[in-house]
Structure 1
Amino acid sequence: MRSSLPSRLIAISFIAALLLTGCSAKDSNNAEAQPSETSSSAAASADASKDATASSTPASSEASGSAEASSSATALPTLANGQEVTLTDAERTDFNAGKYVPATAQHPALNVPEPVMPEVAKEQTFEGAKAFLEYWVEANNYAVQTGKNTMVKQAVSPKWSTEQELYDDTRQVYTEGGWFKDGLVKMEIPDEGFNVEANNSYDVIVYYSEQAGTIYKADGTEEESFSSFNDSRQPTIATLIYENGHWVYESSSGIQGVDYEN
C-alpha cells in the first residue's frame, strides 16, 4: 500500500485509503431575371441586372458557407476563471466530432462517456457481480474526470463513509473549477475467487490498480500530484452485498501478507 496520501483526499484512492484506515464526461433559391423583348434599353437594363446578380452570387455563397462552418464548430467550455480551454488542432477536431478528449495540464477531460449499468449487473450471480464491478470502475473514472459522482456514490454502500467522503472531495475539485489529469483505475476480475458469505455478502478477488495523477486548480496551476497504486497488480478483495434486487459495493480490503508497495 502507499505509505502516504496527498494532503487533499483523492476519490480514486479508495483501496489505499482503505488499507491505511483498516476498512479496508455533446438555401436560398435565386430567381433568374428574364430579359424583356419590348425595347433594347429594357434588355440592356435586364442584362446589367443579371450581371450584377451573378457577380454577387459567389460572395453570397462564400458568406453562407462561412456561417455554416462557424455554426458547425462546437463552442469550447471555459474554466472557472472564464478562460476558454486550450486545445490542439487534433483535440479540437475530436471534440467537435463528439469524441472523448483526455485531460491534460491545459484542460479537463472532454466528452467523457456517461456509464450505463447493464441489466446483467443486477443479477445475483457471479456474472452479475462482475458486470457490476466493471460498471463501478466506469462510474468511478467518470466521477474523476467530470466531478459528477452521483452514479458511483449510489453504487457504494452509504456505510462506507471513507469512500463516500472521497467522492465528495473529488466533486469539490470540479466545483472549485479544478480538474484531475489521469489517476484512473483499472480492475480485472478473474473467474475464480467468488466466495459467498453470510447475509448475501460476497467476497470477490480482484486485481485493482490506479494510475499516478495530478490535480489542477481553476487557474491551471498544479495543486498536487499522487503516485500510482498496485502497479504489480497484487490481488485485493472486493466485498459486495446483494439487497433489494441490486448490488452494493460494501468495502475493499487488502489480503494479509501481500505487499502493495509499488
Structure 2
Amino acid sequence: MRTAQRTLTLTALALLVLTGCGEQKTGSIPEPSDSSSASSASGASSSVSASATAQETEHYSGGSKAPDGEYRPADEFGPAQNVPKPVKPEGMNVETTEGMELFINYWNDLRNYAMQTGDVTEITKLVDESYTQELEFYESLNEIYNSGGWVIGGTRQIHYNKDLLTSDGNGAYSIGCNFDVENLVLWSDGKAQVFDNSDYIYNGIELKVKFKNNHWTVVTADILESQNG
C-alpha cells in the first residue's frame, strides 16, 4: 500500500508541475523521499502527525466542517469545502469568437474547480481524446483526492490576446495566451510538497480548440517560449 501511494504521489507531482501543457520540461520535478523534510506553504503548519493519514482521519480546511454553503479554501488542515461548481454559460456552443471565449473561460473555471475538489467529471468532456496529457492530469488529480490527499492553490487565470487568434480551417482555431498559475502545495500521506509557479506566466502558450458537432473541445496547449528560462 505504501509503494502504491508513493507511485501515485510521484505521478501526481509530475503532472501537477506540467500543469497540463504540452512541452513543459519535467527534469526539475522534486521527488519526495522518506529522509527529506517536507516543505510547507506560507502559513501552513509544519507539525503534521505521521499517524494522521487520510485513512485514519477526516480532514477539514479551517480545522472543522464548514456549514453548508460556506466556502473555505484548502489549507494544511484539509481540502477546500463547499466549492461553487461552475455553470455552463449560455451561448458557449456556437462557432463565434464570443462563443470560443466563453468556452475557454468555462474550461478554465472547471479546471480550477477540479484542483480544489478532485471532481473531473465535467471537464473531461471538454478535452479532445488526443490530448492525453491533460486527461492523464485529470485522472491523477482525481486519484489524489480519492486517496485522501488534496491540493492548496494551483488555480489558474488565462490571459489571451485576440490579435493572436487564427483559424486553421475545419473548425480549428489557435490563440496566443499566458497562463498565470498560482503556487501549489500537494498534501499527500501527511506530507506537503510545494511548487513555485511564479514564473509560469512568462511562457507563451498556443492554445488550440476545435468546434465540431455543435460543441467546442480543447485540442492542446503548447508552450512556445520561456522568457525567464
Query: Do the structures match in fold with TM over 0.5?
Result: yes
| Contact preservation (8 Å) 1:214, 1:225 | yes
2:84 & 2:93 partners in 1: Cα distance? 21
Structure 1 portions without partners, runs of 5+: 1-5, 22-78
Instruction: Determine whether 1:240 maps to 2:209.
Output: yes
Match of 2:108 in 1: 137
2:59 & 2:202 partners in 1: Cα distance? 39
| Number of residue pairs the alignment of both structures matches | 192
Q: Which whole-Å deviations, capped at 9, do the CAs of 1:103-126 have from their partners, x for residues lacking one?
A: 001110111111111122211111
2:221 & 2:55 partners in 1: Cα distance? 35
Q: Which whole-Å deviations, capped at 9, do the CAs of 1:160-199 have from their partners, x for residues lacking one?
A: 1111111100101001011001111111223322211122
2:226 & 2:58 partners in 1: Cα distance? 45
1:204 & 1:213 partners in 2: Cα distance? 26
> How many percent identity over aligned positions?
23
- How far 1:18 sits from its partner (Å)? 3.1
Which structure carries more helix by proportion? 1
Q: Which whole-Å deviations, capped at 9, do the CAs of 1:21-72 have from their partners, x for residues lacking one?
A: 9xxxxxxxxxxxxxxxxxxxxxxxxxxxxxxxxxxxxxxxxxxxxxxxxxxx
Going from structure 1 to structure 2, the CA distance change for 1:234 and 1:213 (only over 3 Å counts) comes to: same
Match of 2:39 in 1: none
SS in 2 for 1:118: coil
Note the 1:115-126 alignment, pairs <5 A: 115-126=86-97
Q: Bigger radius of gyration, 1 or 2?
A: 1
Match of 1:206 in 2: 177
Structure 2 portions without partners, runs of 5+: 1-9, 27-53
Instruction: Determine whether 1:13 maps to 2:19.
Output: yes
Picking from 96, 111, 132, the partner of 2:82 is 111
Amino acid at match of 1:82: T
Match of 1:39 in 2: none
1:228 & 1:259 partners in 2: Cα distance? 13
| Contact preservation (8 Å) 1:230, 1:260 | no
- How far 1:80 sits from its partner (Å)? 4.0
- How far 1:251 sits from its partner (Å)? 0.4
Picking from 118, 121, 128, the partner of 1:147 is 118
1:232 & 1:240 partners in 2: Cα distance? 20
| Contact preservation (8 Å) 2:155, 2:181 | yes
| Contact preservation (8 Å) 2:178, 2:201 | no
SS in 1 for 2:162: coil
